[in-house]
Amino acid sequence: MTVMTDALVPALEDAREAHEAVIDRFRADVTITPPGPYRQMLERQVDDVQNSIQRIEHQVRELRPRSGLVGDTLEIARSISRSAVRTAMLPLAIGSTLATEMLRGRWPNDERRLLRNAEDEYAVTARALAACRAGQSIAEEARDQATADLLAALRRQDQELLERLEASVADRARAVAAAANGFRVENGGGLADAAARAVRTAADRVQDVAQSSGRRARGAAEGAVREMPDATRMAEEVQGAVTREQELPIPRFSQLSVDDVKRQLRSLSQSDLTVIEGYERTHANRPGVLDAIEQLRGSEPWEGYDTMNPDKITAQLQNVPSGVARQVLEYERRHRQRQEVISAAEARAAQ
């Protein structure tokens, strides 16, 4: 129970930092938002979120006397709580990606700026929501009802704000499309409808991030995490959903056949596979590609394996148990199939 209590303070600090980012974002956007209801909403939200921060800080002061030794388990809990808020680091350029591809850069600058601001507002609010959800789960596991109730209340506020911002992104996308030279927007169709669908897709994935991060946070506070955190994977899938094709780890992705894609998937890291999966699900959604990605799923033999070159892997194999070498052998045969790594793993596994 002591470990769980110690985990509450960093979880609350994560929530505070996430809400401070909301204030910074909203204040910056107020300065360039035309007078009207939307600007007034942003100004009201700054006051409301400031009040939320004060409530979090009060709860931190209440808990600090009870917080003791912070060990490795706390660091894992902190890491998972932070991974839950990675969504804010993702460029949720939903409307801008769609419009840029369709209008080829012919956006009016003012409308485009307002749309991008709305996207950024949506992103930081999603971060705050996910941070509260992760912290609430830790508090519930620690049986600290006061902290759980506080974070639950803040999470509901963030959810309500996120829904308003979701509508704002769609409205801004419609304004961009309507103002574009030679582009006509019909109700319920065209770019505006596509942008709205994309926003809803991202919103659903943000909710999945928040929910799964809470489950993983509880497990992290009690023991080691052996697989990719659910929140991290979902955040990377959201990233894939809103990433432009030219930024994907496979060049000319949409122009490749399923077989061509499958051949290139083997060379990707687990993280890159997740990004590709997110993009594919929100675009072509080809079963052959998604099935191939699923078959390549698996835990790395050790942390950071996918980022290492063959020479470094071969060198590290000299110092690992034979069981780990067998994991490398199995993983490498399924993925990159680099003969030098396979040979080194076979030699080590045989010792």
Tell me how far apart the alpha carbons of residues 217 and 129 are, in angstroms, rounded to a whole number: 15
Tell me how far apart the alpha carbons of residues 315 and 166 are, in angstroms, rounded to a whole number: 50
The pLDDT assigned to 207 comes to 52
Which structure tokens are listed for 205? 């994935």
The pTM (predicted TM-score) of the whole model is 0.48
Q: How far is CA 342 from the centre of its chain?
A: 33
Q: Which amino acid is at 318?
A: Q
The pLDDT assigned to 237 comes to 56
143: which DSSP letter?
A: T
Q: Where are the alpha helices (DSSP H) in 180-269?
A: 190-222, 230-242, 258-265
Place of tokens 């319920």: 188
Give per-residue burial for 180-189: e unless 16+ CB within 10 Å, then b: beebebeeee
Neighbours of 211 (CB within 10 A): 17
- Residue 76's H or E segment, with its range, is helix 72-84
Q: How far is CA 336 from the centre of its chain?
A: 26
List, as one string, the DSSP characters of 274-312: HHHHHHHHTTT--HHHHHHHHHT----SSTTGGGS-HHH
The pLDDT assigned to 26 comes to 92
Report the chain's C-alpha Rg in angstroms.
23
The pLDDT assigned to 295 comes to 87
Going from the first residue of the chain to its last (351 residues), give the mean pLDDT of each consecutive group of 10, the final group possibly shorter.
66 91 90 87 92 92 62 43 40 38 42 82 87 87 90 92 86 73 45 49 52 49 40 54 78 92 89 86 87 87 86 91 90 88 91 83
Inter-residue long-range contacts of 97-105, CB under 8 Å, 24+ positions, other chains counted: 97/198, 97/242, 97/244, 98/173, 98/191, 98/194, 98/195, 98/198, 99/173, 99/176, 99/177, 99/180, 99/191, 99/195, 102/183, 102/191, 103/177, 103/180, 103/183, 103/191
Tell me how far apart the alpha carbons of residues 15 and 216 are, in angstroms, rounded to a whole number: 17
Helix (H/G/I), strand (E/B), else coil: 32: coil
Place of tokens 């955190």: 229
